[in-house]
Amino acid sequence: METNFNDIQQLWQSQKAENFDLASLIEGLKKTEVKQKRERIAIAIITPATLVFLFIFMPWQESKAILLSLLVIAVAMIGVGILSFSSRISPSDDSENFSNKEYLKSQFEKLKFRYKIAGKYMYYYAFLLAVALNVAYFVLLAPFSDLIRILTHTGLTVMIFGIMHFSIKRRLKKYDKSLQPMMKQLEKLLTEAKN
């Protein structure tokens, strides 16, 4: 009976080992970082271009409220850029890194942080953007009737939160498909490194 149990245990352990593929983990980390690198490049180009555009075409010299609005937008956009740059992973072809507990832990934490950026911080970004734009429109729409102003503010706020909510949900679904399997593999390696 004990021999049968040992055979089953060995079979189970060999199946667990076959399911784990270090090469696919390394390749997945590389692909993820390539995508994130493109995103960081886009942020590095779009953020200054947007801010320059806003400061050129918005009448910020005429109103402190509009200036404040532009500064809030700038802080929000720069904050998103900083978050994106701080979640940079370090994919490696060196399989020895995958026996290094600190390397595994840092990669796992950065992947986890990407979830946090998408699921939490992007809602803060949407809130800051909505507030800043509503402040600017409050000043810019002063000559119009109250009904037009209320409809504009309401529509703008609903549009910003709607677009952000759906894009965040879409991003989280992509992360569930691409990052979650890698996180499970890294977590498995971390567990094995502890033992």
Domain ranges of the chain: 21-194
* Sequence-distant contacts of 106-111: CB under 8 A, at least 24 apart: 107/29, 107/186, 108/183, 108/186, 108/187, 108/190, 111/32, 111/179, 111/182, 111/183, 111/186
What pLDDT score does 16 carry?
Answer: 47
What pLDDT score does 103 carry?
Answer: 81
| Rounded (10°) CA dihedral 110, 115, 117, 119 | -170
pTM: 0.76
| Dist CA 44 CA 101 (whole Å) | 32
| Dist CA 174 CA 193 (whole Å) | 28
Q: 62 phi and psi, to 5 degrees? A: -85, -20
Instruction: Report the Cα 15 to chain-centroid distance in Å.
Output: 34
Instruction: Report the Cα 98 to chain-centroid distance in Å.
Output: 24
CB 131 within 8 A of CB 156: no
**What confidence tens digit (pLDDT) does each residue in 20-72 have?**
567 787 788 888 888 889 999 999 999 999 999 999 999 989 999 999 999 99
